[in-house]
Chain A
Amino acid sequence: MKGKKTDKKEIFLVEDDEDIRRLLHYAFEKKGFSLITASSVKEALHFFKNKKNEELPLLCIFDRILPDGDGLEVYHKLKHKFSDFPPSLFLTKLSAEHDVMAGLKEGAVDYITKPFSLTVLMEKALKLLKSKGK
């Protein structure tokens, strides 16, 4: 996992693709946020293992197809563990209707399918963060 924990403007990303991680890392850094990444279900759950409600990141982005499981299940587990889980969106290749509905029904704020536009993603993310009070 990479990421600096300097201030509390943290964004969490679970994504196994290196190129996407790098691109989002750069994009969020430019806007003043720090991006913490995990590349598997195990790593993601490990990151949240000892966190308390106040220490949670501001926004979470989940990929679904991970080497050791489905991002949807990670989100499901985390949502039930923390009472005030930050808004989350999915960023994934699985674009069939039932997949999108599964993600939205689970409670995700948005479900973005790949190929995605970085500009649009950033716009959506920043709007979410603004509405939460940055």
Chain B
Amino acid sequence: MSMGGVNCFLFWANTIVFIYFVLVQSFYLLLLLLAIPELWNRIKEVKQENFDRILKSESVPQISIIIPAHNEKNNIIFNINRLVHLSYPYKEIIVVNNGSNDGCMKKLQQHYNLYEVPPQRPMVLKTEKKIQYFRSQEYPNLLVLNKSKKGKIDAINAGINASSSDYFLTIDADTIISDSALQSLMRPFLMRSNVVAAGGCIGIANGCEFGENRMFEIKFPKKILPSIQVIEYLRAFLFGRLGWIHLGGNLIVSGAFGLFDKQSVIDIGGYQTEIGDDVDVVVRLHRYYREKQKPYFITFIPDLVALTIVPNTVKGLINQRARWHQGVFKAIYRSINMLFNVKYGKVGLIGMPCLFFIEGLSPVIELFGYFIVAFSIYFGLFHWYFAFWYLLLALGFPILLSVICVFMEVVSFKWYFSVGIIFKMLFFSIAEQIGFRQLMVFARLKGIVNWIFKKENWIKSK
């Protein structure tokens, strides 16, 4: 191989990676700029808003909360009690026992005085047929479904079938909803027509203190991995989601938490993919409404609505992220006809390509970058000095974005406010780029590989 050829290759390879990097970062900057007026508006609104009006009203719509539960004996009673005592007046709680073999069902039966009833509603979405339904003597708005294990989405679809409300949200058994979550999520549906889905900010439950019923105190996690994820989540929600509202709507209403219009989800055939179910449903919603040319709106509210437990082991984290990335690819592939398709408006021209190139392909490009480094070292063309500055530049921008994020969080939400915690957050913003980021690249590549070879192991990471 001639040195001229290698040089040429390296030049072009470097340029491609550099251009990609510049494009991605400027896009993030754009998202940030779009997010700021939304956040500002919302902060002002919160001061003027009177949530009591929603609470006291007798005409707000009912919401069904669907909880697929598999072997959740320890958390389930605590969680259901919290849900039953939420202050939103009209709610129905549907617990779907997904083939638990740890005595979960028996515990529920005893605690809530359950009695069996036959199915009340016709099965609109296709699910497993053998389902038992139970109602509670003490809590008339609690419905428990008992079925054998057939995947989480089968459980959610069964819950949707049994729901009698027009709106539903699904949460995992270990996600904690904040008290004002239902009111906050309902607001977009009340304020404008044609809202189909609404997502909210999700915080990290690791390290938080939970009291009886409604109260919890937000505290910073104690271990390293969850701490770094705090920064990640802040970034993703604060400008990721907020910024997208004006660019055609969100493509991800985090599966951990979102309020959906039930009929719309039934129209698109319910939840269909086990992995990446959240991304897939939202992408399909976009596709359905754009194809039918019906007005619709998918939005995001920057209020903290739920806390979720994140993995604190490396293995668990890798599995989780691999699964997420596999889901992203799956969702894109299933709706690949939307990519760059003018028929799908902003979603096809901006949303889907960004999902693919920026979210999807980023680990590939990063791997390619590392490959170039190795390649040039091998050929003795590696300029250490140049590479050093280039690296600092490349890492500096994400650090800057994270710091801006921390700033926005301290200014607006004040969940993490003490000096010690701010120092920690800033430290982890930097630490994230050294080690964690590489771990993410590895995990996402694993996800892509899994997708290519169609591995569907859904291992729950704790």
A68 to B210, CA, bound (A): 11
B89 touches which of A68, A70, A96 (Cβ 8 Å): A96
Q: C-beta contact mask, A81-99 vs B, less than 8 Å → 1, else 0?
A: 0000000000001111000
A96/B56 in contact, CB under 8 A? yes
Size class of B's contact patch? 10 to 19
A69/B56 in contact, CB under 8 A? no
Min C-beta distance of B360 to chain A, whole Å: 44
B87 touches which of A41, A42, A65 (Cβ 8 Å): A65
A83 to B58, CA, bound (A): 36
A41 to B56, CA, bound (A): 22
B211 touches which of A65, A68, A94 (Cβ 8 Å): A68
| A107 adjacent to chain B (CB < 8 Å) | no
A95 to B53, CA, bound (A): 12
Tell me which residues across on chain A come within 8 A of B215, comparing CB atoms: 67-68
Min C-beta distance of A91 to chain B, whole Å: 16
Tell me which residues across on chain B come within 8 A of A93, comparing CB atoms: 52, 56
Tell me which residues across on chain A come within 8 A of B212, comparing CB atoms: 41-42, 68-69
Q: C-beta contact mask, B204-221 vs A, less than 8 Å → 1, else 0?
A: 000000011111000000
Tell me which residues across on chain A come within 8 A of B214, comparing CB atoms: 67-69
A67 to B85, CA, bound (A): 11
- The total of interchain contacts (Cβ-Cβ below 8 angstroms) comes to 24
Tell me which residues across on chain A come within 8 A of B211, comparing CB atoms: 67-68
Tell me which residues across on chain B come within 8 A of A65, comparing CB atoms: 87
Tell me which residues across on chain B come within 8 A of A70, comparing CB atoms: 85
> Of all chain A residues, which has the CB nearest B89?
A96
> Of all chain B residues, which has the CB nearest A97?
B58
Min C-beta distance of B51 to chain A, whole Å: 12
A123 to B215, CA, bound (A): 35
A130 to B52, CA, bound (A): 36
Task: Please provide the chain B residues from 9 to 62 with a CB less than 8 Å away from any CB of chain A in the complex.
Answer: 52, 56, 58
Min C-beta distance of A6 to chain B, whole Å: 33
Task: Please provide the chain A residues from 35 to 88 with a CB less than 8 Å away from any CB of chain B in the complex.
Answer: 41-42, 65, 67-70
B58/A96 in contact, CB under 8 A? yes
Min C-beta distance of A9 to chain B, whole Å: 32
A95 to B58, CA, bound (A): 10
> Of all chain A residues, which has the CB nearest B212?
A68
B87/A68 in contact, CB under 8 A? no
> Of all chain B residues, which has the CB nearest A96?
B58
B52/A69 in contact, CB under 8 A? no
Min C-beta distance of A98 to chain B, whole Å: 9
Q: C-beta contact mask, B169-201 vs A, less than 8 Å → 1, else 0?
A: 000000000000000000000000000000000
Min C-beta distance of B270 to chain A, whole Å: 33
Min C-beta distance of A21 to chain B, whole Å: 19
B87/A69 in contact, CB under 8 A? no
Tell me which residues across on chain A come within 8 A of B52, comparing CB atoms: 93
Where the two chains meet, the residues of A that have a C-beta atom closer than 8 Å to any C-beta of B are 41-42, 65, 67-70, 93-96
24 pairs from A and B in contact (CB 8 Å cutoff): A41-B212, A41-B213, A42-B212, A65-B87, A67-B211, A67-B214, A67-B215, A68-B211, A68-B212, A68-B213, A68-B214, A68-B215, A69-B85, A69-B212, A69-B213, A69-B214, A70-B85, A93-B52, A93-B56, A94-B56, A95-B56, A96-B56, A96-B58, A96-B89
20 additional contacts, CB 8 Å, given A41-B213, A67-B215, A69-B212? Answer: A41-B212, A42-B212, A65-B87, A67-B211, A67-B214, A68-B211, A68-B212, A68-B213, A68-B214, A68-B215, A69-B85, A69-B214, A70-B85, A93-B52, A93-B56, A94-B56, A95-B56, A96-B56, A96-B58, A96-B89
